[in-house]
């Protein structure tokens, strides 16, 4: 482990255990521009000889410890998968990008037909890939969040208060995501996006347990549903709102999560254990994609495939637009 910062003993031990189990090295870096959840740059996803965990410069104590614990757990899952049979991520190619963008376009047309004020054509066209990529980023990350957080809760008791603060903060930030696009993107995608985060927060609220994480307690836009009777919720007044629809879909996604997230979170560490956690995450991801009818939007591939796809993304977008709009699309 390479670091110049103070660490509590449990975290030092956890890093040492990670390094030993994966036969690798972990370096810790503090950077002003790091995102609040930190970043993991690992040897399984990039062409590197060591793993780097980067966290925000203003995280000096237990907040930093939690980020390190979270990223180390993620590293163990990836590493165990890589060592026991192959680590894969959700990637894309020209065909899958076309499939996804075409579906977004068809849904956008349905929504536009009901609107008085139509979206400018350029904005509609730009939105197709942006929305596709947003879901790609979210579905590559979100299923692992409850896996990692449940594991940390049961293995690192001393971080529970820190974890709760960060989860509350993340919950509000995730729900704010896409708010500026709420009136632009097809209602379906706004609802599915919120539903995923709603389900995650509700799963963690039940599993940790932490009542404060319940979206009807933590999320301002959902507080109105707290203590609302079923009969009242079924009235027209509520059913047409995006937030109510997010709750309904989110409750269904919670059922999917509970069905697939069946690991023993307090089990002893081993490569086999983390390899099984990887399979749990993959199964959950597939189940969520099936529920959102996005199975053909992405493909399981090597991390190197995804890196190459990110380079080719503008080409895939252009090709998909050409297929959808034909000669109506300007070459520029």
Partner 1 sequence: MPVSEIPRILKRAEQYVRQTKYKEALALYDQAIRLEPRNPECWSQRAGAKIEMERFADAVADCDQALALNPNQADAWSRKALALSQVGQYVPALAAATRASTLNANDAVAWYVKGICLEETGKSDEAEIAFAKSLELEILLDIKEEKNRIRR
Q: Which residues bind partner 1 (CB under 8 A)?
A: 4, 6-9, 31-32, 57-63, 158, 161-162, 165, 169
Going from the C-alpha of 265 to that of each of 70, 76, 149, 151, the distances in angstroms are 14, 14, 10, 5
Smallest gap from Cβ 169 to partner 1, in A, equals 8
CA distance 67 to 311: 29
Residue tagged 């996804």 (tokens): 100
Smallest gap from Cβ 71 to partner 1, in A, equals 18
CA distance 197 to 176: 11
CA distance 70 to 331: 44
Identify whether the C-beta of residue 79 lies closer than 8 Å to the C-beta of residue 44.
yes
Query: With the CA atoms of 92, 98, 103 and 104 taken in that order, what torsion angle do they form, in degrees rounded to the nearest 10?
Result: 80
Smallest gap from Cβ 182 to partner 1, in A, equals 19
Going from the C-alpha of 197 to that of each of 4, 50, 70, 177, 209, the distances in angstroms are 35, 32, 18, 10, 17
Going edge to edge, which strands form the sheet with 51-56? 26-31, 51-56, 39-41
Closer to partner 1 by Cβ: residue 61 or 314: 61
Smallest gap from Cβ 162 to partner 1, in A, equals 6
Closer to partner 1 by Cβ: residue 65 or 193: 65
Closer to partner 1 by Cβ: residue 6 or 86: 6
Closer to partner 1 by Cβ: residue 130 or 164: 164
Smallest gap from Cβ 70 to partner 1, in A, equals 16
User: Two tokens at 294?
Assistant: 């996005």
Smallest gap from Cβ 273 to partner 1, in A, equals 27
Closer to partner 1 by Cβ: residue 4 or 332: 4
What is the DSSP-derived secondary structure letter of residue 182? T
Closer to partner 1 by Cβ: residue 4 or 311: 4
Smallest gap from Cβ 13 to partner 1, in A, equals 11
Of 96, 113, 60, 103, which Cα lies nearest the Cα of 292?
103
Smallest gap from Cβ 11 to partner 1, in A, equals 10
Closer to partner 1 by Cβ: residue 166 or 208: 166
What is the DSSP-derived secondary structure letter of residue 2? B
Rg, the chain, Cα only: 21
Closer to partner 1 by Cβ: residue 9 or 240: 9
């Amino acid at each position: 482990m390479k670091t110049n910062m103070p660490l509590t003993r449990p975290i030092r031990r956890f890093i040492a255990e990670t390094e030993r189990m994966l036969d690798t090295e972990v370096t810790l870096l503090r950077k002003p521009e790091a995102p609040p959840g930190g970043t993991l740059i690992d040897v399984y996803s990039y062409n590197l000889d060591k793993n780097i965990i980067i966290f925000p410069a203003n995280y000096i104590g237990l907040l930093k410890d939690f980020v390190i614990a979270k990223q180390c757990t993620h590293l163990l899952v990836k590493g165990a998968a890589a060592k026991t049979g192959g680590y894969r991520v959700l990637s894309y190619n020209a065909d899958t990008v076309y499939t996804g963008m075409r579906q977004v376009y068809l849904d956008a047309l349905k929504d536009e037909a009901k609107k008085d004020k139509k979206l400018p054509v350029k904005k509609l066209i730009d939105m197709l890939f942006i929305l596709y990529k947003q879901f790609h980023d979210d579905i590559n990350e979100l299923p692992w969040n409850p896996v990692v957080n449940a594991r940390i809760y049961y293995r690192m008791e001393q971080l529970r208060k820190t974890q709760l603060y960060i989860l509350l903060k993340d919950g509000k930030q995730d729900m704010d995501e896409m708010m500026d696009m709420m009136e632009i993107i097809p209602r379906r995608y706004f609802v599915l996006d919120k539903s995923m985060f709603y389900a995650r927060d509700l799963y963690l609220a039940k599993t940790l347990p932490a009542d404060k994480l319940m979206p009807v307690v933590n999320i301002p836009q959902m507080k109105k549903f707290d203590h609302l009777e079923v009969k009242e919720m079924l009235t027209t007044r509520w059913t047409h709102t995006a937030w109510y629809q997010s709750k309904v879909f989110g409750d269904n996604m919670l059922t999917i999560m509970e069905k697939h997230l069946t690991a023993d979170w307090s089990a002893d560490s081993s490569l086999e254990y983390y390899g099984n956690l990887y399979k749990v995450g993959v199964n959950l991801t597939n189940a969520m994609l099936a529920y959102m009818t996005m199975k053909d939007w992405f493909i399981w591939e090597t991390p190197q495939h995804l890196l190459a796809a990110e380079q080719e993304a503008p080409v895939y977008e252009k090709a998909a637009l050409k297929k959808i709009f034909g000669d109506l699309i300007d070459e520029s």
